[in-house]
Amino acid sequence: MSANPQSLRTTGPEYPLVINGRLVAGAMTLDVINPATGRLLTRCARADKAQLDAAVAAAKLAFLAWSATPIQARRQALLKIAAALEARGAEFARLLTQEQGKPLAAATHEVGGSVAMIRAFAAMDLPVKILRENDSERIVQQRAPLGVVAAITPWNFPLMLLMIKVAPALLAGNTVVAKPAPTTPLTTLLFGELCAPLLPAGVLNIIVDQNDLGGVLTQHPDVVKVAFTGSTATGRKVMASVAGTIKRLTLELGGNDAAIVLDDVDVKDVAAKVFRGAMMNSGQVCLAIKRLYVPDSLYDAMCAELARLADATVVGDGLDAATQMGPLQNKTQFEKVKEFLVDGRTRGKVIAGGMALERDGYFVAPTIVRDIPDDARLVREEQFGPVLPVLRYSSVDDAIARANGTEYGLGGTVWSADSKRAFEVAQQMTSGTVWVNKHLELPPDIPFGGAKQSGFGTEMGQEGLEEFTQSRIINMAK
C-alpha cells in the first residue's frame, strides 16, 4: 500500500472513483450542484457498468485476504481511518456544506459524529460464543464475514450514513462497494481517497452513478449483502432487485414520525425542542418530527410558539456563520416540498412560512401549519422538508391511534412532565425507536431499525455489527 494518495491517482477529475485501491477517472463526469446557489459546484467522476463490475471484482478478490486478516488488524485500520478523517475534519465539513447545504456547524458535527462512529465500531468485537458444553457435546456460535457488501447511501447525511455501513462491514471482514447519492458524491469520494493508502487494494471501492447503476449493483451476483438507506419507494425496488439472488438486506427507509405532547408540559420549553426536531437539516431527516399532536388545552399556545420560532429562524447559505437553516438539498426535493406547501395552504392554516424564498438556490421558509385534517397529504406522507403540521387531539388514546395510523414506523417522541406517564404512551407507539422528552439521540452502541414500511434489519450497536456476518453454529460430539 502506498502512503501517498497522489501515487494512486490516474488522470481524471479532482474527485475520482476508487477502484481496487486506485483513484480512477470515471467513464463520464457528473455535475454537482451547490444547493445554496442552484449552480454548478464542481464535476466528479461517474462510473459506467464496466467500472462497477471492476469494483465488485476487486472487492471479491480482496475479500480472500481481508476476511482472513485478524480482527485486531482490521480494528487498527479503522482507527487509522478515523484519525485521518479527524485530521481533515474542517476540509470535509466545508465540502459537505457545499454539496449538501447544511450549515457549517451541522456539517462539522456530522464529520465529528462520523469519526466517533468509526471508533465505536472499532471498539466492538465478534467473540465466539459457547452455547452449550457438557460431557457429551460442545456447541459454539461463530460470526463469519459475508463477502462483498454494497453500501448505498442517501443525500441528507452522506458521510455519517456511509460510516454506519462501512465501519461495521470492514470490521466484520467484508469488503465494500459504496455508491453515494448522485447529488452528494463529493465527501464520499474524498473519503475513498483518504482510505485508499490505509486499506489493502479492493477492500473499499467507491463508484458514482446518476441513478442508473443501482439496480446493476444490487442484482450483481457477486454482491452478497445490500445495506441501503433511502426512501420507502426506492427500498421496495431494492428489495425486489435482490430477490433473484436472495441477498442479505438491511433497509433503513422513510418515516412519518409523530410527536405526542401531553397536557402537562411547559409549552415554551417543549416547543423549542420539537421545532429543532422538525427543522434539523431543513427537515431532511428520516427521523425528523413530521407530525405533532397537541391536546386541546395547549394547542393555541403551542402553535403560536412554533410560529414564533419559525419566523425567527435565519435561512441562508450554510457557509454563512449567521445561517441557522440551509437550503433543501436538490431541485427534485425542492419541487416536492413546494407541493406540500400548496397542500398546507389549501387544507390547513399556514401560520409561519408557507413559501419558497425568492432567491437563488433551493430555499424554503420554515413552515408551521395548523387546523389541518388527518387525510391531508402533508399529514399522510413524508414531506422531508421544513414543514410541520400541528394536529389537535382530545384524548391520549385518540392521539396514539392517529400517530400509529400510518404505513411508517421509524421513530416517534412523547413529551410530558411525568416520565412514567410518557413511558406508558411510548410503549403503545408502533415505531422502531421512541424517545421520551428528547429527540434524535442515536448512541453508536444502541441498535436502531424501523418497523412496518420504514424498513428492517438493524444498524449500529452490536446487532448492527452482526448484520454484516453469517452466524455459523458448530455442533461437536465429545
Decide: 291 and 431 in contact? Cβ < 8 Å.
Answer: no
Residue 286 annotated as catalytic: yes
DSSP 325: B
Report in angstroms the alpha-carbon separations of 77 from 122, 161, 199.
9, 19, 7
Report in angstroms the alpha-carbon separations of 196 from 81, 167, 275, 469.
10, 15, 41, 24
Decide: 474 and 142 in contact? Cβ < 8 Å.
Answer: yes
Query: What pairs with residue 32 in β-bridges?
Result: 42
The set of cell numbers assigned to 189 is 469520494
Contacts of 239 by beta carbon, 8 Å cutoff, 6+ apart: 249, 251
Three-class DSSP category at 72 = helix
Residue 473 phi/psi, 5-degree rounding, is: -95, 125
Catalytic residue among 44, 286, 303, 459: 286
Look up residue 350 and give its amino acid.
Answer: V
Residue 185, class by beta-carbon neighbours within 10 Å (0-12 exposed, 13-18 middle, 19+ buried)? buried
Report the 10 Å Cβ neighbour count for 130: 10
Which of 46, 48, 102 has its CA nearest to residue 329?
102
Catalytic residue among 110, 252, 382, 459: 252
Contacts 24+ apart (CB under 8 A), 40-45: 41/98, 41/99, 41/186, 42/13, 42/14, 42/15, 42/186, 43/13, 43/15, 44/13, 44/14, 44/15, 44/16, 44/185, 44/186, 44/189, 44/208, 45/12, 45/13, 45/15, 45/16, 45/17, 45/189, 45/208
Decide: 45 and 16 in contact? Cβ < 8 Å.
Answer: yes
Degrees to nearest 5, angle at CA 429 with 348 and 406: 45
Decide: 153 and 178 in contact? Cβ < 8 Å.
Answer: yes
**Euclidean distance between CA atoms 296 and 287, whole angstroms:** 26
Q: How many residues does the chain have?
A: 478
- To which H or E segment does residue 69 belong? none
Active-site amino acid positions: 252, 286
